């Protein structure tokens, strides 16, 4: 956006409401606003895609046109105008980066602000990062080191070029393009994302990480992540999201597919910190995401999410427990403040015998926000001895916010055991009193109690992420109690 | 939807007349709600687990009156004031004590409360209800004997409407028994309207014991004033197609609400319990306990909703649903919901589905009980939480007898 000046940027940084509200001044290559077959062809051509992928996109577009936007979620928002969005925005550059040193300095600066300075990360943490800005993957670190083990970790576009057989084999198998409105839209217009393949028996030695950022105004981000862990493989995958502060609503409709083949394990952690809008609910990101994993025999998929951003969140990371003895886990902390709305939860579909699932969901509502847990536990006829445990707790910080629980429990097998419990309450006055009596300020005391309340989930996050998540929690809840 | 062509719903109501009971404003609202509607499909949230095709395609036999012997046999309580309702025949006892007034709803009427329709059946009831009773309990009256209302369905489609008004500081227990005669296929939708005044203590017990061929729909709408105590205990002994939809609006502080249910299902039975407790004021408590057992191809549905409005601080709401599944083809669908807009509250819900504890079974078997006897004992104990609310010995004995006979359980 051209009318966004350095002064405004400084102001934004100063007011500290949203730490990541900056725009990187890089020329973007953006396609015309609107959505039709030509735009899709244009995206496909720009990305030099094979014929089958274009066909898949066009088919998805046709399916999407037949669909209507779902309305069942417990959220209210102005529906996005799909013709007013630019579906492709790439940082402009023609040459591919040969090495990290070739990356433009402005971009490096952005990453630094985000706290994911690559040099530092490469050196200190050994995390391999795929950085997606607007819609296009910018740099992937540690590629060589990973490729020695046969691990493929690259942007989705590169994967389409270099490993089309893998992409074609797995894409859309977990989230088909007929799945839902936003998944169909994503299948038609997705621009980039990450692709990860861990070969048989390989334990990925480092955490893989993707950072998403919406930069340009009036763009939507439609990325696609596909993680395949082949037999006996293990991978821990991190995903972080930020967006600059803008007055209008931005749309983020991603699709994440995880495939854990026999004996494999995938751990997928998200720290979502899209711009949540200002105090009066102006602006902010609409986060409408479809995330789903497929578990084959003996495999395990674990979703961990810390959701603090977005004006409207609408997200249900799910597990299809297809193979016998497979395990699905879902750990979530969802924080809403001001006028944020979140409708989030999970689906655990038990198909195989002796499948297990655990759901731990912690909601925190502050300001005038609405926070809902919506979950499905479905035990099918074939799922003998399936086991589920769900716990959904909500914490209310003010008398103007709301906390809601909508669990669906469907059981068709007499050998299954399902437990669900939910509680809603506010921070105990006695707990606060105890802390304050010992000289801890109210704000600090609340942050301490909230951290303790979320501990079960935060413990699931990899170290660096856990620290960041704790900071985020503190920022999100700043000044929420008065 | 095309207008002009007859859909299944308009065929269903074709032979029903619109009645003059309800005020015009409500009827207009019902007409508006029903305009262009057909039977809801499983795509609709409230009927997600209930297939109405069975009802839409059912043929109903002509309504017939039952004789006095059948009525006498259907009574469960011997020492009670008994009202008998059998399609167009309503018997009201003559010996009622002062302070209680029972009349036909068509004659004296407790005014209709304003209504919000949750589904087509509520709206249909407004338009087509013809039969029912008004029961008025005066101030400070404690009824010496329970009130027994026996509703016997013997063919036909009927919309019933019963209005209850419990005045200040009254106390009463009402046993509502629904049965049907064998060999008839029938449909009954019964709307219960309860107004519970200050300090009143009201316990409603529903004994649902209907057989194959009867579709039993119930809609309870209650309003509670301050310090009142209100209970609905729904005991579903048998019923091929039962839907209970209870809603309680709490309008006065320090009120207590209990909604409980027990269901034993076998064969192809379908029983759905929907509850809504709406906490609108502060300092109230509500408790829900629904427990059930399902075997064969039966399906049980529980959907409980607790609203805590912005002003309802210090609310204490508890909801629990526990189920035991005994066969491969039975299924349980449970959806306990909380919608909370106040912060100083304690709300919780729990839902479990599973089978009998193997350790408990082993314990009993090690003491010489047969497998069947051990299972029966555990199942009996499982349901006792809910039955504990039923204080009447005659009713308890009847419940145990019926369950033992249906499931071959020996107590």
Q: Is B345 close to A422, i.e. CB distance below 8 A?
A: no
The alpha-helical segments, DSSP class H, found in B79-143 are 120-128
- Express each pLDDT in B26-80 by its tens digit: 888 888 888 888 888 888 888 888 888 888 888 888 888 888 888 888 888 888 8
Does pLDDT of B247 surpass 70?
yes
Q: Which three-class secondary structure state does DSSP give residue B204?
A: strand
Q: Is B348 close to A410, i.e. CB distance below 8 A?
A: no
pLDDT value for B343: 84
Asked if residues A349 and A317 have their Cβ atoms less than 8 Å apart, the reply is no
Q: Which three-class secondary structure state does DSSP give residue B396?
A: helix
- Residue A221 gets which letter from DSSP? B
Measure the CA–CA gap between A5 and A154, rounded to whole angstroms.
34
pLDDT value for B61: 83
Q: Which of A404, A409, A424 has the CB atom closest to B335's CB atom? A: A409
The answer to whether A404 contacts chain B (CB < 8 Å) is yes
Measure the CA–CA gap between A22 and A107, rounded to whole angstroms.
12
pLDDT value for B240: 87
Residue B272 banded pLDDT, cuts 50, 70, 90:
very high
pLDDT value for A386: 93
The pLDDT mean for chain B works out to: 89
Does pLDDT of B338 surpass 80?
yes
Does pLDDT of A417 surpass 60?
yes
- Express each pLDDT in B76-101 by its tens digit: 888 889 999 987 788 888 888 988 99
Q: How much is the average pLDDT of A464-479?
A: 73
- Residue A32 structure tokens: 């015309």
Which of A227-241, B12-26, B243-257 comes out lowest in average pLDDT?
B12-26
The answer to whether B358 contacts chain A (CB < 8 Å) is no
- Residue A243 structure tokens: 């967006």
CA-based Rg of chain B, rounded to a whole angstrom?
21
A144 or A360, higher pLDDT? A360
Q: Is A404 close to B348, i.e. CB distance below 8 A?
A: no
Which residues of chain A have a CB within 8 Å of the CB of B342? Answer: 396, 399
Asked if residues B359 and B370 have their Cβ atoms less than 8 Å apart, the reply is no
**Is A437 buried (19+), middle (13-18) or exposed (0-12) by CB count in 10 A?**
exposed
Going by C-alpha positions, the residue among A284, A335, A314 that lies closest to residue A472 is: A335
Residue A374 domain flag: no
Asked if residues A401 and A369 have their Cβ atoms less than 8 Å apart, the reply is yes
E-only strand ranges, A128-233: 128-133, 136-140, 152-155, 192-198, 208-213, 223-229
**Domain membership of residue A236 as a residue range:** 6-315
Residue A408 domain flag: no
- Express each pLDDT in B160-178 by its tens digit: 999 999 999 999 999 999 9
- Express each pLDDT in B360-399 by its tens digit: 999 999 999 998 889 888 988 899 889 999 988 999 999 9
CA angle A32, A68, A308 (to 5 degrees): 75
- Residue A397 structure tokens: 């910080």
Residue A325 domain flag: no
The answer to whether B338 contacts chain A (CB < 8 Å) is yes
Buried b (16+ CB within 10 A) or exposed e, A285-309: bbbbbbbbbbbbbbbbbbbbbbbbb
A312 Cα distance to chain centroid: 13
Residue A97 domain flag: yes
Asked if residues B324 and B352 have their Cβ atoms less than 8 Å apart, the reply is no
The domain tally of chain A equals: 1
Most confident of A190-204, A242-256, A319-333: A319-333
Residue A339 domain flag: no
Which of A88-92, A166-170, A356-360 comes out lowest in average pLDDT?
A88-92
Residue A45 domain flag: yes
pLDDT value for B6: 58
pLDDT value for A327: 94
Mutation test of the interface with chain B: which of A71, A371, A424, choosing the one with the most B Cβ atoms within 10 A?
A424
pLDDT value for A287: 86
Share of chain A above pLDDT 90, in %: 25
pLDDT value for A191: 79
pLDDT value for A96: 43
- Express each pLDDT in A41-89 by its tens digit: 888 888 888 888 899 999 999 998 888 888 888 888 877 788 877 776 6
Residue A276 banded pLDDT, cuts 50, 70, 90:
confident
Residue A424 domain flag: no
Buried b (16+ CB within 10 A) or exposed e, B310-321: eebbbbbbbbbb
- Express each pLDDT in A150-196 by its tens digit: 888 888 888 888 898 999 999 889 998 888 888 998 898 887 788 88
Q: Is B336 close to A405, i.e. CB distance below 8 A?
A: yes
Residue A473 domain flag: no
The pLDDT mean for chain A works out to: 79
**Is B82 buried (19+), middle (13-18) or exposed (0-12) by CB count in 10 A?**
buried
- Residue listed under structure tokens 């730490």: A19
Residue A12 banded pLDDT, cuts 50, 70, 90:
very low
Q: Is A421 close to B355, i.e. CB distance below 8 A?
A: no
| A vs B: CB pairs below 8 A | 118
Compute how many other C-beta atoms are within 10 angstroms of the C-beta atom of residue B352. Answer: 19
Is this structure's pTM higher than 0.90?
no
């Amino acid at each position: 956006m051209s009318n966004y000046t350095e002064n405004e940027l400084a102001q934004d940084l100063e007011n500290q409401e949203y730490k990541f509200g900056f725009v990187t001044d890089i020329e973007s290559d953006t396609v015309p606003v609107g959505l039709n077959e030509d735009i899709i062809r244009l995206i496909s051509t720009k990305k030099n895609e094979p014929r089958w992928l274009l066909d898949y996109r066009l088919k998805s577009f046709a399916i999407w046109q037949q669909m209507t936007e779902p309305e069942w979620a417990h959220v209210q928002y102005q529906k996005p105008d799909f013709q007013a969005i630019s579906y492709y925005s790439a940082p402009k550059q023609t040459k591919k980066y040969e090495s990290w040193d070739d990356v433009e300095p402005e971009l490096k600066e952005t990453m630094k602000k985000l706290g994911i300075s690559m040099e530092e990360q490469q050196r200190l943490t050994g995390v391999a990062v795929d950085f997606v800005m607007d819609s296009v993957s910018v740099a992937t670190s540690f590629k060589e080191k990973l490729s020695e083990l046969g691990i493929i970790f690259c942007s989705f576009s590169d994967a389409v070029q270099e490993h089309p057989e893998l992409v074609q084999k797995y894409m859309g198998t977990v989230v088909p393009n007929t799945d839902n409105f936003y998944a169909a839209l994503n299948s038609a217009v997705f621009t980039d994302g990450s692709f990860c393949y861990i070969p048989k028996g390989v334990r990925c030695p480092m955490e893989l990480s993707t950072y998403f950022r919406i930069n340009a105004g009036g763009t939507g981000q439609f990325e696609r992540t596909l993680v395949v862990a082949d037999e006996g493989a293990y991978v821990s995958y991190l995903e972080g999201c930020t967006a600059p502060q803008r007055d209008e609503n931005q749309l983020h409709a991603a699709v994440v597919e995880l495939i854990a083949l026999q004996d494999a394990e995938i751990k997928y952690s998200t720290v979502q910190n899209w711009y949540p809008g200002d105090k009066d609910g102006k602006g902010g990101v609409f986060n409408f995401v479809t995330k789903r994993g497929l578990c084959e025999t003996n495999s395990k998929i674990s979703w961990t999410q810390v959701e603090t951003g977005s004006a409207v969140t609408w997200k249900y990371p799910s597990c299809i427990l297809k193979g016998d003895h497979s395990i699905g886990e879902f750990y979530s902390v969802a924080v809403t403040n001001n006028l944020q709305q979140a409708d989030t939860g999970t689906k655990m579909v038990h198909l195989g015998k002796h499948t297990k699932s655990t759901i731990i969901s912690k909601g925190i509502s502050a300001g005038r926000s609405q926070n809902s847990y919506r979950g499905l536990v479905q035990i099918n006829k074939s799922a003998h001895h399936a086991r589920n445990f769900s716990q959904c707790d909500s914490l209310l910080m003010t008398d103007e916010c709301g906390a809601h629980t909508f669990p669906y429990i469907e059981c068709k097998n007499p050998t299954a055991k399902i437990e669900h419990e939910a509680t809603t309450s506010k921070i105990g006055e006695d707990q606060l009193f105890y802390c304050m009596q010992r000289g801890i300020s109210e704000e600090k005391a609340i942050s301490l109690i909230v951290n303790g309340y979320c501990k079960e989930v935060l413990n699931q996050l990899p170290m660096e992420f856990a620290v960041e998540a704790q900071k985020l929690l503190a920022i999100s809840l700043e000044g929420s109690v008065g | 939807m095309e207008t002009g062509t007859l859909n299944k719903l308009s065929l269903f109501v074709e032979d029903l007349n619109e009645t003059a009971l309800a005020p015009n404003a409500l009827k207009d609202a019902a007409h508006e709600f029903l305009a262009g509607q057909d039977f809801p499909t499983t795509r609709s949230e409230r009927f997600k687990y209930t297939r109405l095709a069975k009802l839409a395609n059912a043929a109903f036999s002509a309504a017939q009156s039952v004789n006095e012997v059948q009525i006498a046999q259907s009574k469960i309580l011997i020492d009670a004031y008994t009202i008998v309702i059998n399609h167009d025949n309503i018997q009201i006892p003559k010996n009622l004590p002062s302070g209680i007034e029972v009349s036909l709803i068509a004659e004296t009427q407790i005014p209709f409360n304003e209504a919000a329709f949750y589904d087509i059946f509520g709206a249909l009831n407004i338009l087509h209800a013809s039969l029912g009773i008004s029961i008025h309990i005066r101030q400070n009256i404690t009824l010496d004997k329970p009130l027994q209302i026996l509703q016997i369905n013997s063919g036909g489609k009927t919309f019933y409407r019963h209005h209850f008004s419990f005045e200040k500081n009254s106390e009463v227990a009402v046993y509502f028994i629904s049965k049907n005669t064998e060999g008839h296929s029938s449909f009954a939708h019964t709307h219960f309207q309860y107004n519970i005044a200050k300090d009143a203590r009201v316990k409603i017990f529903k004994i649902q014991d209907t057989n194959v061929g009867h579709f039993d729909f119930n809609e309870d709408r209650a309003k509670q004033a301050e310090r009142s105590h209100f209970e609905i205990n729904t005991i579903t002994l048998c019923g091929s197609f039962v839907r209970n939809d209870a809603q309680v609006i709490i309008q006065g502080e320090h009120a207590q609400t209990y909604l409980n249910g027990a269901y034993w299902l076998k064969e192809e039975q379908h029983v759905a319990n929907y509850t809504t407790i709406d906490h609108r004021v502060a300092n109230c408590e509500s408790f829900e306990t629904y427990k059930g057992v399902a075997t064969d191809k039966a399906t049980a549905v529980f959907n409980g909703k607790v609203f805590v409005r912005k002003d309802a601080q210090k609310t204490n709401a508890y909801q629990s649903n526990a189920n035991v599944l005994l066969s491969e083809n039975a299924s349980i669908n449970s959806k306990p919901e909380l919608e909370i807009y106040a912060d100083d509250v304690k709300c919780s819900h729990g839902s479990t589905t599973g089978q009998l504890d193997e350790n408990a079974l082993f314990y009993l078997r090690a003491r010489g009980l047969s497998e069947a006897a051990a299972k029966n004992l555990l199942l009996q104990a499982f349901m006792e939480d809910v039955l504990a609310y039923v204080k009447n010995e005659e009713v308890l004995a009847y419940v145990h007898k019926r369950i033992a006979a249906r499931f071959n359980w020996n107590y």
